[in-house]
Amino acid sequence: MEHQSDLPLYRPAAPIPPQYNTRGVSWFQYLKQGANPLKVWNDRMYHQPVYMVPLGPVKIFHINDPDITEQVLQDKAGRFIRSRIQADSVDTILGKGLLAVDGDEWKEQRRILAPVFQPRQVAAFEDEMRKSTQKLIAKWTEKPPKRPIDIIKPTSQLTLDFIANALFGGLSEDNHNLLSNKTDQGLKRMPWLTAAQLINPFKSINRRMSELTFRRQISLLDELAEDFVDRYRRDPGQFENSLLARVVEAQEAEGRSVDKTFVRDQTATFLLAGHETTGKALAFTLYCLSVDKARRTKLVTELDREGENSVYLDYVIKEALRLYPPAVIVSRDTTEEMMLGDREVPKGSTVMISPWLSQRNTQLWEQSDKFWPERWGSEVLKGSRRYSYLPFGGGPRVCIGMGLALMEMKIMLAALLQSFTFDHMEDRPVEPEVAVTLGSKTGIWMKITHR
């Protein structure tokens, strides 16, 4: 095995799955656990291929089997639509961006937007990724944080800094700060609609209110996108390195005039789908490495030798995304009755695939809850087994920003780890929870020291 190691294995923080009697999971348990599914999902859901959770009038089928997952996301994809749960929670915000549309409209958008995320385009943003990281490194070098800090904040700020600059090809400092603050404040209010909220009217009202507040917070996006299109029309040449310029060009390549609403909705989508996910993935990777200090030393030694090209860095990122997938649930609704495994699934049911559960499936993953990057030196996920590892989803709706996010993680982690040592404060344990994306209820508190 490449990178074979005799180093001991550690189990980074995760709730111990409760063991329930035959009645299984109920909405009452969701309510009791503050709607955090990680505390509700029981031990059987970590290996049972299909597990039905009756939440009042709604039937939710949890899938934890690579063959059935492949059927849902790939083979029978046309027989599903985005789930009501997902649609309700993001549509007001994302308008008709790629994440929020279905059917023929989705097909057309995906075709138009595919060239924007091709590897050659992603490579054009590598310097912007380095620039954003160096800004943070310079800040911490000039004024080292005296006390431990919750690392989720600076890593999310870092990815926001990058994606905002990449979208607009650079923003004025004022607009940049304004956008960062508004997105940050807005995201704090962004509603996370859990299954339990479907049947809780009070939560639903609360959610609608937070949606409105969120929409107000990010109305700045409408102005920025509109202004971008106007400036692009006047002088397209000034936007050589801009994701939005690629979006406009992709539209023009179709022989269409530029649609400002389309540009605005994709801006909101890329900003929101792209920055918090990647920011939290960075934070959890630094956390895993500080739980397992011997592997951190091993990685930093390789980084000093090989920089961003380190193979071990790839393994570490893959493993951190396995244990802490930022998108915890991928869900769909059935448009017709069908069999999934040995279960009859009625039309209109919600099917949930959780990367958290699949990637911790006790039948498929050896040492499923341990941080073991070396596994990726031998682990080849062949055929449908690939559908047991899906931090970026799978099938035709697989994350369009996957290549960009992985490149970002590589470049940012390599630079941060070469400059600083991140030590987790053990007296402030991490408590994974789902809040739009995977986070920690207690934060991820780190002492940061210059190497």
| Nearer Cβ to ligand HEM (61/298) | 61
303 binds ligand HEM (CB under 6 A): no
Sort residue 170 into left (φ over 0), alpha (ψ -120 to 50) or beta.
left
In whole angstroms, give the CA distance from residue 179 to residue 59: 39
350 binds ligand HEM (CB under 6 A): no
**DSSP-derived 3-state class of residue 367:** coil
169 binds ligand HEM (CB under 6 A): no
404 binds ligand HEM (CB under 6 A): yes
User: Measured from the CB of residue 321, what is the shortest distance to ligand HEM in angstroms?
Assistant: 7
**What residues from 328 to 347 belong to the interface with ligand HEM (CB under 6 A)?**
330
- Count Cα neighbours of 174 within 13 Å in the Cβ-side half-sphere: 1
Helices in 97-149 by DSSP H: which ranges? Answer: 103-113, 119-123, 126-142
| Nearer Cβ to ligand HEM (107/450) | 107
432 binds ligand HEM (CB under 6 A): no
90 binds ligand HEM (CB under 6 A): no
13 binds ligand HEM (CB under 6 A): no
- Count Cα neighbours of 391 within 13 Å in the Cβ-side half-sphere: 22
99 binds ligand HEM (CB under 6 A): yes
Residue of the chain from 39, 62, 375, 397 that contacts ligand HEM (CB under 6 A): 397
373 binds ligand HEM (CB under 6 A): no
**What residues from 110 to 149 belong to the interface with ligand HEM (CB under 6 A)?**
110
In whole angstroms, give the CA distance from residue 122 to residue 124: 5
Are 278 and 408 in contact by the 8 Å Cβ rule? The answer is yes
| Nearer Cβ to ligand HEM (99/229) | 99
399 binds ligand HEM (CB under 6 A): yes
Are 271 and 101 in contact by the 8 Å Cβ rule? The answer is no
Q: Which residues is 434 bridged to in the sheet?
A: 438
User: Measured from the CB of residue 266, what is the shortest distance to ligand HEM in angstroms?
Assistant: 8
Task: Please give the single-letter amino acid code of residue 211.
Answer: E
In whole angstroms, give the CA distance from residue 159 to residue 163: 6
Are 328 and 194 in contact by the 8 Å Cβ rule? The answer is no
User: Measured from the CB of residue 402, what is the shortest distance to ligand HEM in angstroms?
Assistant: 7
Determine the interface stretch with ligand HEM among 22-30, 179-187, 270-278, 419-427 (rule: CB under 6 A).
270-278
In whole angstroms, give the CA distance from residue 1 to residue 375: 8
Residue of the chain from 248, 281, 340, 448 that contacts ligand HEM (CB under 6 A): 281
| Nearer Cβ to ligand HEM (85/298) | 85
Residue of the chain from 164, 405, 436, 448 that contacts ligand HEM (CB under 6 A): 405
273 binds ligand HEM (CB under 6 A): yes
Q: Distances in Å between the alpha carbon of 427 and those of 289, 413, 438?
A: 17, 25, 21
Are 79 and 335 in contact by the 8 Å Cβ rule? The answer is yes
Residue of the chain from 391, 432, 439, 443 that contacts ligand HEM (CB under 6 A): 391
Contact characters 217-256, ligand HEM, x per CB under 6 A: ----------------------------------------
Token readout for 419 is: 């400059």
Residue 62 has phi, psi (to 5 degrees) of: -90, 130
| Nearer Cβ to ligand HEM (25/330) | 330
Are 422 and 289 in contact by the 8 Å Cβ rule? The answer is yes
User: Measured from the CB of residue 408, what is the shortest distance to ligand HEM in angstroms?
Assistant: 7
Question: Which residue in 407, 440, 337, 442 sits closest to 128, CA to CA?
Answer: 407
Residues lying near ligand HEM in the complex (CB under 6 A) are found at 98-99, 110, 269-270, 273-274, 277-278, 281, 326-327, 330, 391-393, 397, 399-401, 404-405
